[in-house]
Amino acid sequence: MLINSVQSREIEELNADQLTRLLQMLLGLEVQKRDLHGFYYVSRKITTGDGGEDARITVDDTKSSNWVTNKLTLFQCKATSLIPSQVEAELLVTDPATKEKKLKPVLKEVLDNGGHYILFMSVDASTRNGIAKRTEKMMEACQSVGLTYQENQFDVFDANKIAEWASEYISTIAYVLECNGRTRLAVFRTWHQWSLDYQEHLNFKFEDAYLQTQISEIKTLLKTENAIRVIGHSGIGKTRLVHEIFKPDPQNSDTEQNQLNAAVVYYDAALVQDSELEKYIVNFKETTVGIIVIDNCPNERHIVLAGLVRNNSRIKIVSIDFSLETDEKNVIKLSRKIQENTVKSMLKTRYPAFTESEIEHLAQLAEGYPKMVELLEDAVTKNGPNTINTQLPKDFIQKLVFGRRDPNDGDYDVIKSCAIFSEFNFIDDENNDLIQNQARLQELGKHRNFIATSVCNPAINERTFFQTCKKFKDERNILERRGYTLTVVPTPLAANLAADWILNYPPEKFQEFCTSLVDAGLIEAFCKRLRSLDQIERAKSLVEQLWGPQGPFASAEVLNTELGSRLFRSVVEVNPEATVNALATLYSNYTVPEIKAIDKGRRNLIWSLEKLVFRKETYEEASAILAKFAAGETENLGNNATDQFLQTFHVFIPGTEASLMQRLSVLDYCLEESEPEYLDLALNAINESLKSHSFQRMGGAESQGFGTKLIDYVPETWDEIYSYWEETCDRLLTAVQQHPQLIPRAKNIIASNLRGIFGRNQGSLLLPIINYIRHVDSTLWESVMKSLRSALKYEQLDDANRDLANQLIISFEPKDWSNKIRFLVSVPEWDYSDPDMYRNQERVLGILRNLLTELAEQGVTAEQYLPQLLTGEQRRGVLFGRTLAEKVDGQLQTGEQIIDQLRQIDKDKRSAEVLAGFMSAVTRETKKQLVDELIADRDLNYLLFSLLRFGQTETADIVKLFPLLDDHVAHISALIDVIVYVGNGGLSVPDVIGLCRRIEGYGEEGKWTAFTIYHQLSYSNEELWAQFKPYIRNLIIQNNFISMSERHNTMDDFVFTNACERILDEQQDDEFAIAISDQLAEGLKSNDFRGGNSELQDLVQHLMSKYFLIIFERLSPALISKSMEYWNVKQLLGSRNGSFGHSGILFSGDTTKIIEWCEKNKPMGPERIAYMMPVFATEGDGLWHPFARLMIDRFYQVPGLLNEIGANLGSFGWMGSAVPYYEKLSRMMQELFDHKSLKVRKWAKAGYNSYQKQIRLERLNDEQDRIE
């Protein structure tokens, strides 16, 4: 049974209504998939007279659809067998007036217009030409009444074709299975099945304007995006909202809404803990169309699933989860504050007799959580509306907590004590047996003991605490297991309970209590809970009291501790105004050195300020404090104070709600401060403010507490941005006027932002600062010229800005010869009007010749500028050297001048490009003399290894380099570039061979060098390969390159294996195969052998495929070695399990020979093979690899064999959850339950039980990982 397809027999089981519903879904999905324009309808009354028409679709263009192939198509549904002889009766009717048969009018209209008639029947008509016979009968029926149509106007979609069509869409697969009472991917549910989850009396209309906006936004995203995420608290109504998005329109079948409904399936990830969904998407995303709603989908899993559907996928996903953390850009976050109307609507539907004040009171208790309406139902229904009075919410919450039981103060105190933590470790009978380590068990039990004895008031014993928690978890379901932990749900209940506990705790003991939480390992869970109190008004006064300006937790000493700052970071979300006032009171007068002294609390304080600057009401105070921390920066992080401060000056995605003009006050603050660090910070802020593109920021600060996500400020118009730029440019001008030392910084700021500002045709904004700098600084401004040219080339400038850019370029052009040489030779700009300039050598040479001519005309010689031309980067140095050689009269004299000048330049600053070009163009005799002079110069002779790569270098020149190699002037590998560059046309084959033979004499390094030269010259030259091949072959045979330690770079592995594979592939060469195999066997003995090297494995794969007996005979002794050889050969030849696994190179060869070898080498042989063999089937019905199953059947009596297979199965690499891997191992064990051997059966059952336990443990660990 295929997971991604419908079978014909499943179509045959559909009744008439189901078949028609399926056709309606298919037409809607086909229209959506192909973007067909037109209309369609499907009649749901197919058992009544229909005139031959059950469905019709009319489109402008069929767009290569496989199923709607005509612009006008009529369908007739038949859920019963319609044999060929019955076809005529379906097409013809008797005219009541003439008593003669005629074609049904609707059908005649379609066919007369060239349309298509399709008999859509749930019967297999593939046998005995059933389809052809029926279409023939259709044409005969028409001909019998004098009408003739084309054969391609008739077709039959039988059960096979319908199944094939339905298999293209997830939702139709799920629908057919639903109709048949079957499931596959445990379990896709159609929208109608999904609807059964909702109680009728809790249904309500989604009339709230905000929810309608959210629904519309998700629908819009579904048109262009493949991955969407909906997040919010447990019980916030996320799933119900998404369910509404796909609700069908009963009035009209031809709507986008019904197309959405037809495309969707629902998948509850909480019910399925394996990776079947991921596998399904990977396998079928390019062929299957649909939308999968994935409920209870953790963020980590969403990231994986979104990555799978982002590209080349016809599957879209909408994931839902209660986690508030997400990296998804297409995210909809539901907050309780905007759910208040939804809750009221639900309450009014459920309790129509309640007064408005009673509904309001219940809505306050629900705190915007629709799920709370359901949780409150039992208590309200039992006690009636008379219990809804003006009492504190605690009394009503007690009814929710205790249900029908009488309230118990001890139990209530336990649940309150639990609620102050976002989660706490709790081990019970669900997971106790999974933890074998007693120390680990005791560690996990610490939370339980601490809460019982140090949080509960009065303290209780651990056993009572354990029993009470079990009761709340199992009976009331308000404690929920997540990994090794429990958490109070829903969150509004937890927040109310936590607030009740915290507000009644003595403030003077709070610091001592928090310190004890650190020791208990519960401080982080406590801080997470503090964040949730932002939705509870009475908690704000607590924050004001403890963390406000006069609070005990807002002192300098406390905030510069890890604990104090971590607590502060949590409560800034609860009361931003009080906490920012506290920071302002504390740090406003701090100097930069005093700020730098803040160390332990710094990171949490920066995170706190990042949240506070996001809010417009706390921006100015928080930003000024953040500027202080940036001025006194001590962190080297991507989100340190400096980066977070500068981020807020971006015009887009600034990480704040504050307007552009509001931010200028903070910039002025920095410019007015006396300490120099603030001035530096202000210039950096100006630079950020002038940026016009490439905006991004780290997410997180916009999500605060459990309210609606904060939104980055977006300017209303471009004019607002232009005014902001003008203001920041004015401030930059003032800064450089007052501080002339800032001019270099200002030049860089202008150059880096000029293109973007000109691109918005606002170049005039920069003129005041540009003109001022030009007036006071006469040095060349190369960077601004480059930016101006970029603007002219790539931006859409208006006439005024284009003229301005050209005028500025002319005014900045160099006037002296030194700068002209710099612009034309050393670091020339790209010619943006002619990007081919740098690919056209002759044109560049022409420019350089003109330069030399101009120099000569002015009585200036190029030799005067040699210090400049021989130092640093010289992009056109080689070409300039060639041009110089052509122009000068005395080549030798000029060459000697260049060499003499190089002697006067420090080695690390020398640039020999000009000399290289010069020597490539001089006469042969001059070049010989210059080479000899350089060889004799111990300070410059190393340059010859790069100089001789250019021009007409001869063998004699290269031979002169060997004495330099002997003197260790350069490494032997330096000859590679020389010979390869020159050898491509400059050296004969005998010359290259002669040089390489000499190079081979330089030890292992020389052999690698010779090998590389041969390979590079012949790699893409078959003629040279044929001439070099015998030398390469002998070089390999005579030298064990596999074991050589000397390698020049990672390319050596490729060079070696590529040459070997070419030799092995061109002809049968047993001698060569034997030599390579012997070298491999020798290499296995080394501790440095690299069995995992992919290039080496490719070579071994070649040998295994063509020379199996040769290589196996030589490597098999290592399989039973007791030394390092075995582990090396296992890595080289063995399989690998899990993610990115493979079946092993050895087992791609003749496995019968391996079995024979095992027989001869029992018991160690079979054991060693068992540990490295492939165990997982890659095809076929079974889960075991055929070779592994053969080994079990053949050698199960070998004492250690089954243990080695178990070790093999337990050795794997995995990405994500390991649960699917262990589930597969469990199924593999089940396949052996009926094995002929009792020993194997017992082993398999023991393995199965072990893997089942491991699955439970892995699931627990997965849940824990998601919490942590």
Nearest alpha carbon to residue 944 among 922, 970, 981, 926? 970
| Confidence check: pLDDT of 419 > 80 | yes
Per residue in 1120-1164, pLDDT tens? 998 888 999 898 988 888 767 788 889 988 899 999 999 999 999
List the beta strands (DSSP E) in 1058-1178.
none
Domain 185-334 - what CATH class?
alpha beta
User: CA 710 to CA 51: how far, in whole Å?
Assistant: 59
8 A C-beta contact, residue 238 and residue 230: yes
pLDDT at 390: 26
User: CA 1004 to CA 973: how far, in whole Å?
Assistant: 11
Structure letter (DSSP) for residue 1180: S
| Confidence check: pLDDT of 817 > 90 | no
Residues contacting residue 670 through CB under 8 Å, at least 6 positions apart: 627, 631, 678, 679, 681, 682, 685
pLDDT at 346: 76
pLDDT at 361: 61
Amino acid at 421: F
If DSSP codes are grouped into helix, strand and coil, which group holds residue 156?
strand
Confidence of residue 191 (pLDDT cuts 50, 70, 90): confident
pLDDT at 387: 36
| Confidence check: pLDDT of 1046 > 50 | yes
Amino acid at 717: T
8 A C-beta contact, residue 867 and residue 898: no
pLDDT at 1049: 57
End-to-end CA distance of the chain: 39
Per residue in 617-664, pLDDT tens? 999 999 999 999 999 999 998 889 999 999 999 999 999 999 999 999
pLDDT at 202: 46
User: CA 4 to CA 284: how far, in whole Å?
Assistant: 7
| Confidence check: pLDDT of 373 > 80 | no
Peptide bond into 352 cis (omega under 30): no
| Confidence check: pLDDT of 384 > 70 | no
User: What percentage of the chain carries pLDDT values higher than 90?
Assistant: 47
Characterize the bridge pairing of strands 116-121 and 72-78.
parallel
Amino acid at 267: Y
Q: How many CA atoms lie within 13 A of 350 on its CB side?
A: 25
Q: State the average pLDDT over residues 855-861.
A: 80
If DSSP codes are grouped into helix, strand and coil, which group holds residue 334?
strand
8 A C-beta contact, residue 70 and residue 62: yes
pLDDT at 831: 56
Question: What's the whole-number average pLDDT of the chain?
Answer: 86
Q: State the average pLDDT over residues 968-997.
A: 89
| Confidence check: pLDDT of 391 > 50 | no
pLDDT at 725: 97
Per residue in 461-502, pLDDT tens? 989 999 999 988 887 768 888 878 899 887 778 888 898 898
pLDDT at 1263: 75
- What's the gap between Cα 484 and its chain centre? 28
If DSSP codes are grouped into helix, strand and coil, which group holds residue 39?
strand
User: CA 399 to CA 493: how far, in whole Å?
Assistant: 12
Nearest alpha carbon to residue 372 among 234, 212, 180, 515? 234
pLDDT at 1043: 84
| Confidence check: pLDDT of 381 > 80 | no
Per residue in 1211-1244, pLDDT tens? 888 778 888 999 999 999 999 999 999 999 999 9
8 A C-beta contact, residue 267 and residue 291: no
Peptide bond into 490 cis (omega under 30): yes
Task: State which of 131-135, 365-369, 439-443, 824-828 shows the largest mean pLDDT.
Answer: 131-135
Task: Give CA angle at 392 (388, 396), nearest 5°.
Answer: 50
Alpha helices (H) along 273-336? 276-284, 299-309
pLDDT at 848: 85
Residues contacting residue 304 through CB under 8 Å, at least 6 positions apart: 278, 1216
DSSP 915-982: HHHHHHHS-HHHHHHHHHHHHH-TTTGGGHHHHTTSSS--HHHHHTTHHHHHTTSS-TTHHHHHHHHH
Per residue in 526-569, pLDDT tens? 988 888 787 577 778 888 888 888 888 888 999 999 988 998 99
pLDDT at 40: 86
Structure letter (DSSP) for residue 872: S
- What's the gap between Cα 997 and its chain centre? 52
Confidence of residue 404 (pLDDT cuts 50, 70, 90): very low
| Confidence check: pLDDT of 810 > 90 | no
Q: How many CB atoms lie within 10 A of CB 91?
A: 26
User: CA 4 to CA 184: how far, in whole Å?
Assistant: 9
8 A C-beta contact, residue 559 and residue 548: no
Give the CA distances from residue 1033 to residues 988, 1004, 1064, 1072, in Å, rounded to whole numbers and listed in that order.
20, 16, 10, 8
| Confidence check: pLDDT of 96 > 90 | no
Per residue in 36-68, pLDDT tens? 888 888 886 645 455 668 899 999 998 888 899
8 A C-beta contact, residue 1144 and residue 1136: yes
User: CA 159 to CA 162: how far, in whole Å?
Assistant: 5
Helix (H), strand (E) at residue 482: strand 479-482
Peptide bond into 1163 cis (omega under 30): yes
Q: State the average pLDDT over residues 787-807.
A: 94
For the CA atoms of 1059, 1063, 1065, 1071, the dihedral, rounded to the nearest 10 degrees, stands at -130
Residues contacting residue 22 through CB under 8 Å, at least 6 positions apart: 14, 162, 166, 172, 175, 176
Give the CA distances from residue 887 to residues 559, 819, 844, 882, 894, in Å, rounded to whole numbers and listed in that order.
74, 21, 15, 9, 11
Task: Give CA angle at 919 (916, 920), nearest 5°.
Answer: 85
Per residue in 741-768, pLDDT tens? 999 999 999 999 999 999 999 999 999 9
User: What percentage of the chain carries pLDDT values higher than 70?
Assistant: 90
| Confidence check: pLDDT of 336 > 60 | no
User: CA 1019 to CA 600: how far, in whole Å?
Assistant: 60
8 A C-beta contact, residue 186 and residue 276: yes
Tell me the β-bridge partners of 291.
Answer: 264, 316
User: CA 1106 to CA 1099: how far, in whole Å?
Assistant: 11
69-78, 178-187, 240-249, 894-903, range with the lowest pLDDT: 178-187
Nearest alpha carbon to residue 488 among 230, 231, 234, 232? 234
Per residue in 243-253, pLDDT tens? 888 888 877 66
Q: State the average pLDDT over residues 218-237.
A: 83
Burial of 583 (0-12, 13-18, 19+ CB in 10 A): buried
